Structure 1
Amino acid sequence: MSGTLSALPGRQADRARWLVRLAWIALAYNLLVIVWGAVVRITGAGAGCGDHWPLCNGVVVPESPTMHTLIEFSHRLTSAASGLFAIGLAALAFRVTPRGHPARFGALLSLGLIILEGLVGGVQVLLGLTADSTDPARGFVQGIHLANTFALLGALLLTALWAGGGPRLRLRGQGRVGSLSFIGLGLLLLLGMAGAVTALGDLLFLPADGSTPIETVKRDFAATATVIENLRIVHPLLAVVSSAYLAWLAVWLRRLRPDAEVARWGGVLWGLIAVQMLAGFANVALKAPAWMQLTHLLLACAMWLALVMLVYRAMTAPGARLPAPAPETGASSPGTSSAGARV
Structure 2
Amino acid sequence: MTGVRSRQRRGATGPVPPPTPHPMSESRFRPFAWGVFIYGFLVIQWGYFLRISESGDGCGTDWPLCHGAVVPDAPPFATFVEFTHRLTSGIVLLLVILMAIWAFRAFPRGAPVRKAAGAALLFTITESLFGAVLVVLGWVAGDVSTGRILIRPIHVTNTFLLLGALAATAWWARRPPGTPLRPLREALRPAALPILGVLALGWTGSWTGLAATAFPHETLAEGMGQYVDPEHILIWLRMSHPVLALAVIWFVVRMARRTGPGEDSVRQGLARAAAVLALVQLVVGPATILLLNPIWTRLGHLVLGDLLWVALVWLVAERMGSTGRNLAAPVGEEEAAHARTRPHKPLRTPPSEALPS
Larger radius of gyration: 2
The residue type equivalent to 1:98 in the other structure is: P
| 2:229 is the alignment partner of 1:229 | no
Give the drift of 1:272.
0.8
2:182 aligns with 170
2:124 aligns with 114
SS in 2 for 1:37: helix
User: Whole-Å Cα distance in 1 between the matches of residues 222 and 185 of structure 2?
Assistant: 50
1:238 aligns with 244
Would the alpha carbon gap of residues 58 and 162 (structure 1) be closer, same or farther in structure 2, given more than 3 Å must change? same
SS in 1 for 2:61: coil
Which stretch shows the higher mean deviation, 112-121 or 146-155?
146-155
2:313 aligns with 308
2:214 aligns with 204
Would the alpha carbon gap of residues 212 and 170 (structure 1) be closer, same or farther in structure 2, given more than 3 Å must change? farther
Structure 1 segment 1-343 matched on structure 2, within 5 A: 10-12=20-22, 15-165=25-175, 167=179, 169-171=181-183, 174=186, 178-211=188-221, 214-219=224-229, 221=230, 225-254=231-260, 258-320=263-325
Give the drift of 1:288.
1.0
| 1:268-295: CA deviation from partner (whole Å, max 9, x where unpaired) | 1111111111101111111110000110
| 1:225-271: CA deviation from partner (whole Å, max 9, x where unpaired) | 1222221111111101111111112222437x522122111211111
Give the drift of 1:129.
0.4
2:333 aligns with none
Give the drift of 1:124.
0.8
1:3 aligns with none
Query: Are the equivalent residues in 1 in contact too, given 2:25–2:106 (CA < 8 A)?
Result: yes
User: Whole-Å Cα distance in 2 between the matches of residues 80 and 13 of structure 1?
Assistant: 24
User: Whole-Å Cα distance in 2 between the matches of residues 168 and 31 of structure 1?
Assistant: 28
Give the drift of 1:29.
0.8
User: Whole-Å Cα distance in 2 between the matches of residues 301 and 102 of structure 1?
Assistant: 22
Would the alpha carbon gap of residues 27 and 168 (structure 1) be closer, same or farther in structure 2, given more than 3 Å must change? farther
Would the alpha carbon gap of residues 110 and 168 (structure 1) be closer, same or farther in structure 2, given more than 3 Å must change? farther
SS in 2 for 1:49: coil
Which stretch shows the higher mean deviation, 272-281 or 10-19?
10-19
Would the alpha carbon gap of residues 163 and 313 (structure 1) be closer, same or farther in structure 2, given more than 3 Å must change? closer
Which stretch shows the higher mean deviation, 50-59 or 102-111?
50-59
SS in 2 for 1:11: coil
**Structure 2 residues not aligned, in runs of 5+:** 1-17, 328-336, 344-357
Would the alpha carbon gap of residues 13 and 164 (structure 1) be closer, same or farther in structure 2, given more than 3 Å must change? farther
Give the drift of 1:73.
0.9
Query: Are the equivalent residues in 2 in contact too, given 1:254–1:262 (CA < 8 A)?
Result: no
**Structure 1 residues not aligned, in runs of 5+:** 1-7, 329-343
The residue type equivalent to 1:154 in the other structure is: G
User: Whole-Å Cα distance in 2 between the matches of residues 80 and 209 of structure 1?
Assistant: 40
User: Whole-Å Cα distance in 2 between the matches of residues 136 and 173 of structure 1?
Assistant: 35
Query: Are the equivalent residues in 2 in contact too, given 1:12–1:96 (CA < 8 A)?
Result: no
Query: Are the equivalent residues in 1 in contact too, given 2:181–2:323 (CA < 8 A)?
Result: no
User: Whole-Å Cα distance in 2 between the matches of residues 49 and 16 of structure 1?
Assistant: 40
Would the alpha carbon gap of residues 168 and 102 (structure 1) be closer, same or farther in structure 2, given more than 3 Å must change? farther
Would the alpha carbon gap of residues 170 and 213 (structure 1) be closer, same or farther in structure 2, given more than 3 Å must change? farther
Would the alpha carbon gap of residues 178 and 94 (structure 1) be closer, same or farther in structure 2, given more than 3 Å must change? closer
The residue type equivalent to 1:214 in the other structure is: M
Give the drift of 1:208.
2.9
Would the alpha carbon gap of residues 320 and 158 (structure 1) be closer, same or farther in structure 2, given more than 3 Å must change? farther
SS in 1 for 2:221: coil
Would the alpha carbon gap of residues 321 and 92 (structure 1) be closer, same or farther in structure 2, given more than 3 Å must change? farther
TM (norm. structure 1) is 0.83
Between the aligned residues of both structures, percent identity stands at 35
User: Whole-Å Cα distance in 1 between the matches of residues 149 and 136 of structure 2?
Assistant: 15
User: Whole-Å Cα distance in 2 between the matches of residues 180 and 260 of structure 1?
Assistant: 17
Which stretch shows the higher mean deviation, 8-17 or 157-166?
8-17
User: Whole-Å Cα distance in 2 between the matches of residues 309 and 208 of structure 1?
Assistant: 40
SS in 2 for 1:307: helix
User: Whole-Å Cα distance in 1 between the matches of residues 223 and 214 of structure 2?
Assistant: 16
